Structure 1
């Protein structure tokens, strides 16, 4: 299956005085997997619903495969949709739920199409089970198989994993990416979970107040955020006071490069990732350990340096050497930082 290009051009959508979409432009390449990420109310679900034809934009255009579909109803847009609610028919088996999607669209498919889709999502042997006989993750796989069975030109995923427990969510997240890569369907994935977005997408769009703050690869979003909002929303950041000197910022005695250089010599706040902070036990260290948090293979250490709180990320096997109250030396890696 070959994906199609999708273009959202100048989309506006208001609900009373709220601008859910504020002149939104978004282009998705054929076969690309785009994740829209942002806080509640940022417009990411509205953008998906306008693309799906479930919501009308006040203005703007929706182009799919070079065709203007702005005025087409949802059932004429050739899109597969998977939502947070599984929306399976309780009286139909897994196989019949998938077949129903084909019948609803009037698609002629091979007799084995529904079974092949269940195989694709890892549900071989579950064909005759009813929804109440399956776990939440298995039901969501059936919903995904049903969406894929019609061979949609675009696959739309609206928070499809948020109702699942953590382990199943990671497993199904990886399966969705594997399947999408295998079949090459252009995909728009909406989530509020930054880890999900960074893990599966070719590019991530961070939204705020109906606009895209940044659209870039996961690595670029994390390592080179275009704004303070992106830097703070994606991942954790220390807010450390400093002074801009010669287009760098001096923080805790360290000179750090800026992602967006500034020539003004003035006080500023640097956003420093915890993994860019190193803490080492030292009898003459300027810092003191306040608390530690065990998080599995990595742990979090909170340190005070004067009146400044600094959070560092360390390997958990180092926790024993950093008890509360221990003096430590704090260093910052010379990675470029954003300003708050």
Structure 2
């Protein structure tokens, strides 16, 4: 099989991009550098600018200022049809009157590739995405996941310098979404194409990306490896947006904070002045132990398979959520007395204290 190797991959640089729509700053001096062959996932709330960034890179939107560089070349003013990029969107956009094979051939036909060569390439790409046996089926004869595989094969068939994925899995059911997510990562590693993946699904972003960029109001709040974004969020926004966090009152002093009678290290001590702060604590950092003399009480539990989330009422009446092994649930039914402790892992703080707030599920 002939594929684009890592040696053919290119670097991408979005340099100081600004874009404004009807008074809203969609991109605010956005800088993003992608290494050759890297997969970066952009994550953030609706309106944060992640899709605008992808569309500017694709040439589907014009930036008000800034530059787009691919392989060191400035393509800011190059039209979309000359940018040599493969695109896969939420809508499959397959031609209903063409077979899967013909859909994959389409882009190559526009590039005047000879029929025999493009049929061979299309067959290779369908094999790569795992549906080579469905080459002669029409879109209406394929499931949603299979149609999206065809769309991915079509995008890869032209040997793009950059692959752009805009919410490609959001229309699929959960099980198919996970399967195809893993397939996209496998294929991207095999082919080696520099890839920008835009998604609102946190699990998706953390599972597939080399680095995750969390966006807010047109800027990157943090760009780092998935485990760093989750375990060492750069800001309270990132900690609050990625995963679940309990918000607990604490007291900051130097590089540590006291919360629930426990002193914890702080990721960024400069994030708030010394004194009362709000501490963001992950549910998996909350430890429960059965204790008849414990001053906290189990309020409710949510079974999630191998793990469960248990809501506990603290002596103050505030609620906190802990993540525990589901095997522990019989020991801690609602009303059970427990002791709450916090693991000594770095936490994020933000200025101002207040009542405890459990993680939003």
- Counterpart selection for 1:59 from 58, 65, 74: 65
Contact 2:90 2:168 in 1 (8 A): yes
Tell me the secondary structure at the aligned position of residue 207 of structure 2. Answer: helix
Aligned counterparts of 2:118 and 2:138: Cα–Cα separation in 1 = 23
More moved, 314-323 vs 260-269: 260-269
Partner in structure 2 of residue 156 of structure 1: 164
Partner in structure 1 of residue 192 of structure 2: 184
Does 1:223 pair with 2:228? no
Aligned counterparts of 2:159 and 2:59: Cα–Cα separation in 1 = 18
Aligned counterparts of 1:54 and 1:131: Cα–Cα separation in 2 = 26
More moved, 79-88 vs 280-289: 280-289
CA drift at 1:264: 4.5
Contact 2:105 2:119 in 1 (8 A): no
- Counterpart selection for 2:252 from 244, 254, 259: 244
Does 1:270 pair with 2:279? yes
Aligned counterparts of 1:72 and 1:19: Cα–Cα separation in 2 = 23
- Counterpart selection for 1:76 from 82, 85, 89: 82
- State the TM-score, normalized to the length of structure 1: 0.98
- Counterpart selection for 1:280 from 275, 282, 289: 289
Partner in structure 2 of residue 325 of structure 1: 335
Which residues in structure 2 correspond to 1:194-213 (within 5 Å)? 194-213=202-221
Tell me the secondary structure at the aligned position of residue 112 of structure 1. Answer: helix
Partner in structure 1 of residue 353 of structure 2: none
Partner in structure 1 of residue 357 of structure 2: none
CA drift at 1:250: 0.8
- Counterpart selection for 2:45 from 39, 47, 53: 39
Tell me the secondary structure at the aligned position of residue 133 of structure 2. Answer: coil
More moved, 98-107 vs 1-10: 98-107
Aligned counterparts of 1:179 and 1:122: Cα–Cα separation in 2 = 10
Which blocks of at least 5 consecutive residues in structure 2 are unaligned? 351-361
Contact 2:67 2:74 in 1 (8 A): yes
Partner in structure 2 of residue 172 of structure 1: 180
Aligned counterparts of 1:15 and 1:276: Cα–Cα separation in 2 = 41
Residues 164-216 of structure 1, C-alpha deviations (whole Å, 9 max, x = no match):
00000000000000000001000000000010000000000000000000000
Which residues in structure 2 correspond to 1:95-106 (within 5 Å)? 95-106=101-112
Tell me the secondary structure at the aligned position of residue 119 of structure 1. Answer: helix
Partner in structure 1 of residue 358 of structure 2: none
Contact 2:109 2:118 in 1 (8 A): no
Aligned counterparts of 1:10 and 1:205: Cα–Cα separation in 2 = 16
Which residues in structure 2 correspond to 1:96-175 (within 5 Å)? 96-107=102-113, 109=117, 111-175=119-183
Does 1:294 pair with 2:300? no
Partner in structure 1 of residue 354 of structure 2: none
CA drift at 1:12: 0.5
CA drift at 1:309: 1.2
Which blocks of at least 5 consecutive residues in structure 1 are unaligned? none
Contact 1:247 1:264 in 2 (8 A): no
